[in-house]
Amino acid sequence: MEKISVDLNVLLADKAWDTLAPTVADALTASGIKVTESSAEIIEFSCQPDNMLLAEYQQKEGHLPIEESLQRVVINCEAPADTDLRAVTKTVVSALPEGVYWYGSTNEGHLEPGADAACQWRP
């Protein structure tokens, strides 16, 4: 088994991940992937004022999100060595509510959760 991590930005209601996490974990387990940790944290706009997901939402919906907040979802997993990382991302996204705005990917290795990653970088 190898360590992999799913890293997504998602527009969700503030506490939505608490109810979505078990559904996502079940979908991954059904694909032979073991979730070892998952988290969702709200992204502060002082750290990332321009975000393509918010821009897409505003362009399509005609306004900024009202009930949803931009969240960074990190899911650390253990998966077989031959796992297709794109398929893992697809599995996670298919477990989210239909029409949810998201972007992200799955990569090899463990990823530290935390929405303030953009604030940590200093030129």
Q: How many domains does the chain have?
A: 1
Q: For residue 99, which of 11, 27, 9 has the smallest C-alpha distance?
A: 11
Give the Cβ contact number of residue 53 at 10 Å: 18
- pLDDT values of the chain reduced to their tens digit, one per residue, 123 residues: 999 999 999 999 989 999 999 999 999 999 999 999 999 998 876 655 678 888 899 999 999 888 999 999 999 999 999 999 999 999 999 999 999 999 999 999 999 887 555 455 444
Say what the pTM is: 0.87
Residue 37 in any domain: the answer is: yes
Separation of alpha carbons 72 and 110, rounded Å: 15
Residue 56 in any domain: the answer is: yes
The helix/strand count (H/E) of the chain reads as 4, 4
Q: Which domain holds residue 98?
A: 2-110
CATH code: domain of residue 78? 3.30.70.260
Residue 118 in any domain: the answer is: no
Separation of alpha carbons 109 and 59, rounded Å: 34
Collapsing DSSP to helix, strand or coil, 34 comes out as strand
Place of tokens 């604030």: 119
Residue 15 in any domain: the answer is: yes
Residue 60 in any domain: the answer is: yes
Residue 123 in any domain: the answer is: no
